[in-house]
Chains A and B, each alone.
Chain A
Amino acid sequence: MYLKNALRAATALTLVTTAVHAETLTIATVNNGDMIRMQGLTDDFTEKTGHDVEWVTLEENVLRQRVTTDITTKGGAFDVMTIGMYETPIWGANGWLVPLDDLSEEYDVDDILPAMAGGLSHDGTLYAAPFYGESSMIMYRTDLMEEAGLEMPEGSPTWSFIREAAAAMTDRDADINGICLRGKAGWGEGGALITAMSNSFGARWFDENWQPQFDTDAWNETLTFFTEMMNESGPAGYATNGFNENLSLFQQGKCGMWIDATVAASFVTNPDDSTVADSVGFALAPHKEGIDKNGNWLWAWALGIPAGTQKEEAAKAFVEWATSKDYIELVAENEGWANVPPGARTSLYENENYKDVPFAQMTLDSILSADPNNPTVDPVPYVGVQFAAIPEFAGIATDVSQEFSAVYAGQQSVEEALEKAQALTTDAMEAAGY
């Protein structure tokens, strides 16, 4: 009897404590498929912790501007923010994010893929937990490749093979472009692709002394190769094509190959949206002959806690929930294994159920082949594969990518664009005190 009463009292006390500490978290996020799924499953978090969640979903660029304003002014409008691999180390170094160095044992922080943990840390401290990670890879039409009498090599193909295959698959009369790549201006759009590609040509943004390197042969070769290949086999108007435009073309059967984010794999193999869902193959991103670097990037959408929040404990509970192994199981239960957030945890790729997903292994191999700490052939002073994790990069790279897009649109030559890129990067870096 005594025990029964004690248990009742303990239960009541737990409920009261939960009620007293129940918080409403405001979480800023992007409108990507995985994030939308998370919003739909939030009841599970509320049930487990008693905390409520209010979502602020914004377009990626709007979100970036919005959360940057809030975190730099310590506005406290958000308790958890969806941020990328670019912002995390910079914000962590500035003390704007709560360090995630006391996550629970059950969370198993060592299970996070090393490439992701490395890219989301500063000085060895994790500042944001990866919700999903991505690299880039080749998605190609197996039927068109066969018709062209070619076979995608095992491992990473060479850029020469890709150019040859693209030309062979191109059929202008049937409106089929051999290859679709991003040409749209923006550091996260066309800028990301050409930077990752330049790594595989032996180019780099800066040397060890932060001197811009656009006046090197490697950059000239990268940009010339890209422009010639796209003019031969790319879609009309590729200078303005980003992820969505190329996804649309690929899903309608108008691309032979598409090199882009690994998350696109679930879209192009979904028969509800894609007309070519049953004839898509995957391969590692290409490299140049004689160079041991593939042209793929590394990115993560991660959850970070701004230092200005008044609800740190509840925010940590949310971050643990959303990036946990249990959450992956929850998504698999509700939406199937093909829809679980990929690229964040090692254990996911050891799971037998996930091994049946056709693009799972290629996604992992792509992520593992990208090294944000050694992204280029020659040494560089920065971290990041398709970006340099310094605050000035986003502005500079957007300007540079605009110059490159002007080349794709036929408005200037490769030499002119590289000359302008070198000049504007030098000016910006000098002004920033490098």
Chain B
Amino acid sequence: MRRTQDTLAAVGATLGLFVLWELAVRLFKIPPFVLPAPSQALEALRPVWGAVLGHAWQTLWTTLVGFALAVGAGVLLGAAVGTSRPLNLALYPLLVGFNSVPKAALVPVLVLWFGIGTVPAILTAFLISFFPIVVNVATGLASVPPELREVLKVLGSSRFEAFTRVSVPFSLPYFFASLKVAITLAFVGTVISEIAASQKGIGYMMTSASSQFNVPLVFGGLLVIAAMGIALYGVFALLERRLVGWAYRS
């Protein structure tokens, strides 16, 4: 009952926004090459449906590979930084500095190294989404209450047992929170790279549409990215509720 209400609220708000957008475009007679109405954007997708699906698939799997790499590297680095004070002191400034570099500026370098195509897109997705995972995993591990670890220590448990029974479950909510941020960022990374240097993917589709002044198709591409982002966010939100529901009691 609660769940259906929540879903209705989300769907209602989204539809409301689209209706507003549609009305605004029609009322103020905004030309489609400035801002197309959502109906025009969807309409632009229809004749090229097959190609759009192909581009969407390219963007999706590129994002997922980059994201998977980010999860792997982020968990490892986050665990190192979160459990060891010397590593924390040594690596944090580097990480922060690195994260401050605009990833869009790195794309040309990546292209130079790996050529045009999927590899720079995967790497951009990886680079942009891995920082929040590191920070959250490190924060989660570092904020385990010492009393909880003491409960195990006094029983003569090994450090490994204390880690798996206290530190890991305690920091899981931090980890899942970062996944939801990271997956949407990964899409941003992929599309940035596709826009700059690729012949496949939604980002590429949007650049080529915009070079032909097909603004409705550009917006259609944006809608496709948004839809994929929402879908994957939903997957991780669902996993989160399943696995760490205890942290979000209602």
Query: Do A and B share a complex?
Result: no
